[in-house]
Amino acid sequence: MKLDIRNIDKSDLDQFIVDLGLPKFKSNQIWEWVWKKSKTDFSEMRNLPKDLIKTLDKNFVFHPVTVDKIQKSSDGTIKSRLKLYDDHLVESVLIPVVKDNRYTACVSSQVGCSLNCSFCATGKMKRMRNLGPAEIYDQVVLVNKQVKEHFGHHLTNIVFMGMGEPLLNYKNLLTGINYICSDAGLGMSPKRITVSTVGIAKMIKKLADDEVKFNLALSLHAATDEKRSQIMPINDQNDLSTLMEALNYFYEKTKNRISYEYISFKGFNDTLEDAANLYQLTKHFPVKINIIEYNPIDGVNFEKSLSVSIDNFAKYLKKKGVMVTVRRSRGKDIDAACGQLANKG
């Protein structure tokens, strides 16, 4: 069976080229076409001899993601439904903030998700499989193209907040990010990348041990175990004290400020008592708290908090000296907002 060339290491390609009796720089040329130039057809690799192109075709394939459907929101957000080589679908979102020259790709890491958070549309789908490094990379290349086409700019930020739990696809996530950041790939700074997790304590510690340079965000959404377990089953195996210990470990090793995502649900987690609990939980090392407006999804009973509740909640934390932002949702009209990705339509 032919191998996907983007699933092999550079050293394997080097060996393949040397075994053909060719100089090693040929391997570098191929690698550049494959990653930096994102070509997915050997015949387009213009500086390779015909014989070599034939040999590559005989031994390798490409499994690029292709665009299945594009939806544009009235606020400029663009959601892309992408088809994988085995016909599975995932979604990526471009979130433009033109006035700040900020163009963010929200990227998926798995087809579906196994974690079943009660407020999330993806959690209603079964987890089908992990995305490979090239499938992660392709999403970023695609959104980068959309930024250029629609806004004449380039991608400035990447968040892993699409479908799936990134830390349950650890190896492919890190390999994909490595290509996104390396000079052989897109050359983006890891400081522009945020990986968001629902909190798998042992993988958070592994990130620290692996000395990753990207940013980490925790989808927290409730500040007591009792409430968090009601909306996020993962909390039963990774309770808040275990998570805080892992995050503290991450902070001590990387000195990177951690972000918390906190979706505000009316009457569930948006009172001042909830804000006080959140402060007590998160005061031990420097953090940033993003309060996110809830986006209704079918079959879920939560409602969006009143604006005044969100404002009071944020004010309480700010008074305590916490760095807080309130994120109003983007792309709601095309189901592209936080928690809404589910391959609809």
Residues annotated as catalytic (active site), given as ranges: 91, 338
Name the minimum Å distance from CB 98 to ligand SF4. Answer: 28
Q: Which residues of 123-133 are buried (b: 16+ CB within 10 A; e: fewer)?
A: bbbebbebbbb
Nearer residue to ligand SF4 within complex by CB, 34 or 297: 297
Q: Which stretch binds ligand SF4 (CB under 6 A): 90-98, 119-127, 180-188, 311-319?
A: 119-127
Binding residue (CB under 6 A) for ligand SF4 from 117, 155, 263, 310: 117
Name the minimum Å distance from CB 164 to ligand SF4. Answer: 6
Nearer residue to ligand SF4 within complex by CB, 153 or 327: 327
Name the minimum Å distance from CB 122 to ligand SF4. Answer: 4
Nearer residue to ligand SF4 within complex by CB, 131 or 147: 131
Binding residue (CB under 6 A) for ligand SF4 from 165, 270, 274, 293: 165
Helices (H), 69-219: 133-151, 170-181, 201-209
Cβ atoms of 218 and 259 within 8 Å: the answer is yes
Pair of tokens at residue 145: 């193209």
**What are the strands of the beta sheet with 66-72, ordered from one edge?**
66-72, 78-83, 89-97, 102-106, 157-160, 193-197, 215-219, 258-264, 287-293, 323-327
Nearer residue to ligand SF4 within complex by CB, 64 or 199: 199
Q: Which stretch binds ligand SF4 (CB under 6 A): 62-70, 150-158, 161-169, 278-286?
A: 161-169
Q: Which stretch binds ligand SF4 (CB under 6 A): 41-49, 159-167, 187-195, 250-258?
A: 159-167
Is residue 73 a contact point for ligand SF4 (CB under 6 A)? Answer: no
Cβ atoms of 25 and 17 within 8 Å: the answer is no
Give bridge partners of residue 258 from the DSSP assignment.
Answer: 287
Nearer residue to ligand SF4 within complex by CB, 34 or 125: 125
Is residue 292 a contact point for ligand SF4 (CB under 6 A)? Answer: no
Pair of tokens at residue 195: 């990986």
Cβ atoms of 190 and 207 within 8 Å: the answer is no
Is residue 243 a contact point for ligand SF4 (CB under 6 A)? Answer: no
d(CA 238, CA 204): 11
> Which residue type sits at 215?
N
Binders of ligand SF4 among residues 120 to 149 (CB under 6 A) are 120, 122-123
Residue nearest to ligand SF4 (CB): 123
Name the minimum Å distance from CB 228 to ligand SF4. Answer: 12
SS3 content of the chain, % helix, strand, coil (to 5): 40, 20, 40
Kindly state the number of chain residues that form the binding site for ligand SF4, as judged by CB under 6 A: 11
Is residue 300 a contact point for ligand SF4 (CB under 6 A)? Answer: no
Name the minimum Å distance from CB 262 to ligand SF4. Answer: 13
Is residue 336 a contact point for ligand SF4 (CB under 6 A)? Answer: no
Binders of ligand SF4 among residues 183 to 242 (CB under 6 A) are 198
Residue with tokens 């990348």: 193
CB atoms within 10 A of CB 224: 17
Give the β-pairing of 89-97 and 78-83.
Answer: antiparallel
Cβ atoms of 139 and 82 within 8 Å: the answer is yes
Pair of tokens at residue 318: 């700010």
Is residue 113 a contact point for ligand SF4 (CB under 6 A)? Answer: yes
Name the minimum Å distance from CB 231 to ligand SF4. Answer: 9
Angstrom distances, CA of residue 190 to CA of 16, 71, 158, 179, 199? 31, 28, 9, 11, 20
What angle is formed at CA 150 by the lines to CA 145 and CA 291, rounded to 5 degrees? Answer: 90
Name the minimum Å distance from CB 195 to ligand SF4. Answer: 12
Pair of tokens at residue 134: 């090239």
Contacts with ligand SF4, residue ranges (CB under 6 A): 113, 115-117, 120, 122-123, 163-165, 198
